[in-house]
Chain A
Amino acid sequence: MNFDVFFLFLNATITVLVAVGIVLRILRKEYLPVIKKHEQDGSDVVDGQ
């Protein structure tokens, strides 16, 4: 195996995985609690009004 070539594609893949990981973490930390809270509080119709 040519490690240097593998390194290029590993870098590209890791960068994408890290970016996706950060996006998913933002969703879990900043959006999911709000969604759960509103689901517990009642219907979204109330929120909308």
Chain B
Amino acid sequence: MAITVFIVALTVYAIVGAFVARRVRSSADFFVMDERAPTILIVGTLAATYLSAVTLLGIAGISYTEGPLVIAATGSFGSWIGIMLAVLYVGRKLKGLGCRTMPDFFRNRFQSKAVTTLATLIMIIGLLGYGVIQLIGAGLVLEEITGISFPIIIVAFVIALMVFSALGGMYGVVVTDTLMFFTMLAVAAVIAPFIISKAGFADMKALGDSMPGYWSLAGAQGRAMSFTVSQFLVWVIFMTCSPAMVSRVFPAKNDFVILKAAGIGVFLAAAMQIPIFLAASAMQVIEPGIEQADRVMLIAFIEHVPGVMGGIGLAALMAAIMSTASTLFVLAGFGLSHDLYENLKKDSLSERDKMRVSRIAQIVIGVVVAIIAIAQPAGIYWISIYAAAIFGVGWLPTVVAGLEWRRMNHKAALASMIVGVSVFVLFTELTRLSYITLPAYATPLIIAFSSAIVALIVVALVTTPLAAEAEYFEKIRNASSSAKTISGILIKANGLQELKRQYRQVQWIMGVVVVLALSVFGLLAVKLAF
């Protein structure tokens, strides 16, 4: 069954991606779907990109061995808040400014090739590091259950990814993400509850007796509170300015779509993750003693649910890998073509050349990814350690200050990014090599993040923004995602009625989201906490 699911799922995703690619006619289609995406596609791509192989493999494994609260109640909580900030604060502001990619903001705000190049390099290294390591991890697991050799799995994945990223760009990625989202939703809404009901809430709660601490924040291994706090902070900082999350907003049709996607997306992030972690814990009742804990959900799909459900579960695992990887790789390709090549080239490119360069960049990224994943050089593990944190320490202070502080300028941006990344690498390596021991709460991430903020403030206070920077800051103050949407609707016949209809629709959807959240989380709390 595993081989059939692997082949069918890859083929379906690639065919859909190729079909969608036929609708891509301009660079606006390629980069931001010509800003036509409705709510379902933005919610789909947001949720699918958020749920990665880490959820179904790594964190599910920790939930199985240590308990479901260790990551879910802290790290995941931080990432839910991060998604909210990424969509409603950073993404919405950048969309209002007309950015197609996140480095567009750096280019326009700081008017400096050095800042844009550094920001883009940080993005490409971070995205590739995070994406490739997921592809390697998932490829190794799939090699074991399908019997297909690892290089063939990686090449098959990369070819399928290139079909919808090189041909379809953001259009292909958003549509295939949404298709994949439904398979992942099936796991959260049907398969995980099936596994949980098989174990029973009573027996799951009794795990706390045989494994003390299983239903606590510290978990069965008694993790320190500093771990809990640092997990929360890492994920808030990472998600808030992760290009994978922020850029999901750019293809949105209008501001109402962003608002609806924010409410629904935050609910789905929690409502899709928690059942998976609980199902992994239920497996501790159904089949204790699994040694390779990160395979717990795979074992559940193959051995403990009916065949069809198992097939959907495996397809969902592949969807989790591909949807996250496709977003990371398509953004890395955009960085290479739009943000590096076009930024450094003196002459502007024609529309046709923009598309050609972007597609070549996607192919280059695909080939590089395949080579790195198959070769698995030692350095990729080193890079992956920094990949998640690099946006937080390198980008977040600059992005927030760029949006909010008049004195913020290109020199402060350069100082903050260089200091943030350098301090993070330095302290992580010194700690790893045991040259220093840091106090419990002073993690390298917190030290680097604080250093980046201090560097930014000091340099901004002793330097002066350029006239162009000050001018763009005024544009930021006046730009509004809602104003663009309002004027776009009011210009139509019956514009006011349409505006009121959309206003009431968002209110109504938010009401439904609240009722669903109270019902789902309330029911689970009653079953497991009391």
Q: Which residues of A contact B (CB under 8 A)?
A: 1-13, 15-20, 22-24, 26-27, 30-32, 34-35, 38-39, 43-45, 47-49
**In the docked arrangement, what's the CA distance between A4 and B525, Å?**
10
Of B4-12, B80-88, B154-162, B172-180, which stretch is located at the interface? Answer: B80-88
Q: Which residue of A lies closest to B486 (CB)?
A: A34
Q: List 13 A-B contacts (CB under 8 A).
A: A1-B529, A5-B528, A7-B69, A8-B274, A10-B525, A12-B80, A19-B84, A19-B266, A31-B503, A34-B499, A35-B496, A35-B499, A48-B496
**Besides the contacts A5-B528, A8-B69, A16-B514, what 9 more A-B pairs have beta carbons closer than 8 Å?**
A6-B525, A8-B77, A12-B274, A12-B521, A13-B517, A15-B80, A16-B270, A32-B503, A35-B499
Residues of A near B263 (CB, < 8 A) are: 16, 19-20, 23
Q: How many A-B residue pairs have CB under 8 A?
A: 134
Q: How far is the CA of A7 from the CA of B522 in the complex (A)?
A: 12
- Known contacts A4-B215, A15-B81, A30-B480: does B496 contact A38 (CB below 8 Å)? yes
Q: Which of B25-33, B46-54, B505-513 contacts A (4 or more CB under 8 A)?
A: B505-513
Known A44-B495, A48-B494; contact A35-B503, beta-carbon cutoff 8 A: yes
Q: A4-B69, A15-B80 are in contact. Are A9 and B529 (CB under 8 A)?
A: yes
- Which chain A residues lie closer than 8 Å to B480 at the CB level? 30
| Cβ distance B210 to chain A, nearest Cβ, rounded Å | 16
Please, how many angstroms separate the alpha-carbon atoms of A32 and B524 in the complex? 36
Specify which of B69, B215, B266, B482 is in contact with A16 (CB 8 Å cutoff): B266
Q: Give per-residue flags for B202-234: 1 if the beta carbon is below 8 A from chain A beta carbons, else 0.
A: 000000100000011100000000000000000
Name the CB-closest residue of B to A30: B482
Residues of A contacting B321 in the complex (Cβ-Cβ under 8 angstroms): none
Complex: A13 Cα to B57 Cα, angstroms = 25
Partner of A39, one of B491, B496, B507: B496
Chain A residues near B274 (CB-CB < 8 A): 8-9, 12
Cross-chain contact of A7 among B73, B262, B486, B491 (Cβ < 8 A): B73
A38: B residues at CB distance < 8 A: 490, 496, 499
A44 & B73 in contact (Cβ 8 Å cutoff): no
* Distance in Å: Cβ of B444 to nearest Cβ of chain A: 25
State the Cβ distance, A2 to closest chain B Cβ, in Å.
5
B73 proximity list for chain A (CB < 8 A): 4, 7-8, 11
**Separation in Å of the B409 CB from the closest CB of chain A?**
29
Contact between A16 and B528 (Cβ–Cβ < 8 Å)? no
Expressed in whole angstroms, the Cα–Cα distance for A22 and B92 within the complex equals 13
Q: Which positions 86-144 of chain B face chain A at CB distance < 8 Å?
A: 88
Min CB distance, A14 to chain B, in Å?
A: 9
A27 to B517, CA, bound (A): 21
Complex: A10 Cα to B493 Cα, angstroms:
45
Q: Which residues of B contact A15 (CB under 8 A)?
A: 77, 80-81, 84, 266, 270
Are the CB atoms of A19 and B77 closer together than 8 Å?
A: no
In the complex, residue of chain B having the shortest beta-carbon distance to the beta carbon of A17: B514
Main secondary structure of the interface of A (DSSP, over half): helix
Known: A4-B216, A12-B77. A26 touches B259 (CB 8 A): yes
Closest to A39 in B: B496
Chain A min CB distance to B279 (Å): 15
**CA A12 to CA B270, docked complex, whole Å:** 6
In the bound complex, what is the Cα–Cα distance between A38 and B72 (angstroms)?
A: 46
Q: With the chains together, A44 CA to B491 CA distance in Å?
A: 10
CB atoms of B215 and A5 under 8 A apart: yes
Cross-chain contact B496 with A27 (CB below 8 angstroms): no
Least Cβ–Cβ distance between B118 and chain A, in angstroms? 32
Q: Within 8 Å CB of A32, what residues of B? A: 503
The residue in chain A whose Cβ has the minimal distance to the Cβ of B483 is A30
In the bound complex, residues from chain B placing their C-beta under 8 Å from that of A19 are 84, 88, 262-263, 266-267
Q: Does B435 contact A (CB under 8 A)?
A: no
Residues of A within 8 A of B491 (CB): 48
A24 touches B510 (CB 8 A): yes
Q: How far is the CA of A19 from the CA of B87 in the complex (A)?
A: 10
CB distance from A29 to the nearest CB of B (A): 9
The residue on A at minimum CB distance from B81 is A15
| Interface pair A26/B528, CB less than 8 Å apart | no
> Of the candidates A1, A5, A16, A31, which one forms a contact with B513 in the assembled complex, judged by CB atoms under 8 Å apart?
A16
- For the complex formed, measure the closest distance between the CB of B245 and the CB atoms of chain A, giving whole angstroms: 14
B69 in contact with A5 (CB, 8 Å): yes
Q: Which residues of A contact B503 (CB under 8 A)?
A: 27, 31-32, 35
Query: 5 smallest A-B Cβ distances: which pairs?
Result: A44-B496, A9-B525, A5-B529, A30-B482, A12-B270
Q: Which residues of A contact B528 (CB under 8 A)?
A: 2, 5
Give complex CA distance A35, B489 in Å: 12
The answer to whether B529 and A27 have CB atoms under 8 Å apart is no
Contacts of B490 in A (CB 8 A): 38, 44, 47-48
- CB B453 to nearest CB in A, in angstroms, measures 24
Given contacts A8-B72, A15-B80, A35-B503, contact A27 B259 (CB under 8 A): yes
Which of the listed residues A2, A39, A45 has the most CB atoms from chain B within 10 Å of its own CB?
A: A2
Interface residues of B in 461-512 (CB under 8 A from A): 480, 482-483, 486, 490-497, 499-500, 503, 506-507, 510
